[in-house]
Structures are given as structure tokens and as C-alpha cells.
A and B are shown apart, each in its own frame.
Chain A
Amino acid sequence: MEIQDFIESGILEAHLLGLTNKEEKELVRHMVEENQEVKEQLVDIERDLTRYFNGSAATPPTAVREIIHLRSGQDNFRKEKHTFKNSASAENSTKFLDVEVNDTHIKVHKFWRPAFIAVFILSKIFLIAGLYYYFKAVNQEEELLRLKTEIHQVK
């Protein structure tokens, strides 16, 4: 395939937009590795894409940044492998953990869910069993009392 045909085929744009399949990705990779012209074209397309999407950019609410900050902070704290900085700067970022949260909710591990369900079911079982044996004991007591009075009457 001629270089110009390849560039005009739109496969580079599709690749940068995430619209290519496995074979096409391989083809783009091969062409980028082999041809300086394709590589330069790719840079130009990237620039166009950036300009195009910056044209439709919208400023998100500031709360979104806070949430991302909290979530990424938590992720970095939990999983050190998911850090994006080099080791020195990552060390600095994890030294202090921002714990100022304007939230009335707490988060617990997902394993607490089955634990709570198990505790709830067990409490119901014990409640029913307790009531059953309570009423059974009351009935037995009444029966005992009735039998005692019968024995007294017979005497």
C-alpha cells in the first residue's frame, strides 16, 4: 500500500479515536515503525484531534476534582503499584493523607455486607427460637400447675 493511500485511508484517525480492530492496530504499528512520513502524519492528526476536542471542551464542576482527588488518593494508599509519579515524588504524595471530607457517609469493605446479612438472619432465628421456648415453658408451667391442683383435688 502506498504511503499516501495509507494516510488517506483514515486508519490513523480511526486508530487514535480507538476505532480500530486488532489487525488494523498491528498495521498502524508496523507503518509507524517503518515510515517517518506516517509518524509525522500521526503527530499532525493528534494535534488536530486535540484542537477539535478542545473546541468542545466543557468545564466540569469543582466537586468532580475533589472526588477524583479522594479516589485517586485512596487508590494510591491502597495499591502502591497504581502510582503515576516516580518513586521520590510518590513518597512525598503518600506521606500526608488528606482526611478532610465533607461527607456524612462512611465506607466499609464489601465483605461487611454478607456479614451483616448473616448477623441479621441469625438474630431472627434466635428471636424465633427464644419466643418458641418461652411460650413452651409458659405452657409447661401452666400444665404443671393444673396437674398439681388436680392432684390436690383428688386427695
Chain B
Amino acid sequence: MSELEPIKNGVDRQSIARRSEDMTSLEVYDKYGAMAYGIILQIIPQVHLAQEVLVSVFSSPQLQACNSYPFSFVACVIKLARAKAVEAKRKITAIAPIADPSNTSDTSPAKIFDLSFCQGFTPEEVAEKLNISKSEVLRSFHEYFKLYRNA
């Protein structure tokens, strides 16, 4: 199952926040472009490259899959923006490797979120880097957004 593949039957779609009708890529861009650009800049700080990734996100046929996504459109756009940015970052680091940013002593939820979401490591890789279990990595995501909610 792909990242953007819809969860099909059984879900009460009325209870889940989502768009009222299918949107064009430009409508999606107008609504979520700034947010997607912010996400991409978090992963790729180079402005020109980030803009190229942004264009690839909103001109991608994969964006069509968001129309049939069972949850909100925004979650789908976040996933797609991150996936494209991480893919571009991997290409850059394959050409010019950068120093490993992980600090094994810092296992704060913010650091774990940064490694997973911004640096493009899988939860398994983060767990291995920080010498913690994968469930602790996943729990950190919950803690991170709980802290954000209460801040």
C-alpha cells in the first residue's frame, strides 16, 4: 500500500474532517502552498531547491490521490511534501554527503521528531542511532505534539 493510498471501506467519512469536493492542484496550492513550502524548507534549507520541490509536489499526479484520501487533505499534502523533500535531500546527500547531525545523548521528543521528519530517517534508524526502542521513538511523536498542544 502506498503512502497516499486511501484507507477504503468501513471508515465513517462524515466524522473525519476533509474537503467538501475535489480540488484542482492550483486550489490545493492556494490553500496549502505556504504550509508545504514551510515543510520543505525545514527539510531542504536551500531556497531554490525547495521551490523546485514545491513545484514538483503541486504538479505531481500523486496529488490526485489526496482527493480520495480518507482523512483531511492537509495530512496528505504534509506526507507528499515531506516525501518529495526527503527524496530530493537524499539525492543531494548522495552527491555531497554531509556530517551526521545526530547527537546520541539527546533523546528529546523535539530531536527525535527532527531526525525522523526533517532529516528523513525512519523510526527504526532513529531508534538505532539513539540506542532506544522503536516504540519510544513513536511515543516521542505523541509527546512532541502533546507538548505543542499544551504550549
Q: Measuring CB to CB, which residues of chain A are less than 8 angstroms from any residue of chain B?
A: 7-14, 16-19, 22, 25-26, 28-29, 32-33, 36, 39-40, 42-43, 45-54, 56-61, 64-65, 67-69, 71-72, 75, 79, 82-86, 93
Contacts and interface: CB of A to CB of B under 8 A. Distances in A.
A84 B54 contact: no
A139 B70 CA distance: 81
Contacts of B16: 39, 42-43
A68 B59 contact: yes
A68 B36 CA distance: 14
Interface string B110-151: 000000110000110000000000010111111111001100
B44 interface: no
B88 interface: no
Contacts of B34: 54, 57-60
A72 B22 contact: no
A68 B26 contact: yes
Given A13-B141, A49-B78, A68-B26, 7 more contacts: A17-B116, A48-B148, A53-B39, A64-B54, A71-B59, A72-B59, A85-B22
Interface string B18-43: 00011111111110011101110110
A84 B139 contact: no
Contacts, number: 161
A72 B62 CA distance: 12
Interface of B: 1, 3, 7, 9-12, 15-17, 21-30, 33-35, 37-39, 41-42, 51, 54-55, 58-59, 61, 63-64, 67, 71-72, 74-75, 78-79, 82-83, 116-117, 122-123, 135, 137-145, 148-149
Given A9-B139, A46-B72, A58-B34, A72 B25 contact: yes
Given A42-B16, A72-B25, A85-B22, A17 B82 contact: yes
A84 B39 contact: no
Interface of B is mostly: helix
B54 A60 contact: yes
Nearest to A30: B10
A72 B78 contact: no
B7 A32 contact: yes
Given A18-B79, A18-B83, A39-B12, A8 B142 contact: yes
B26 A65 contact: yes
Contact of A10 (B29, B142, B149): B142
Nearest to A65: B29
A67 B71 CA distance: 28
B141 A17 contact: yes
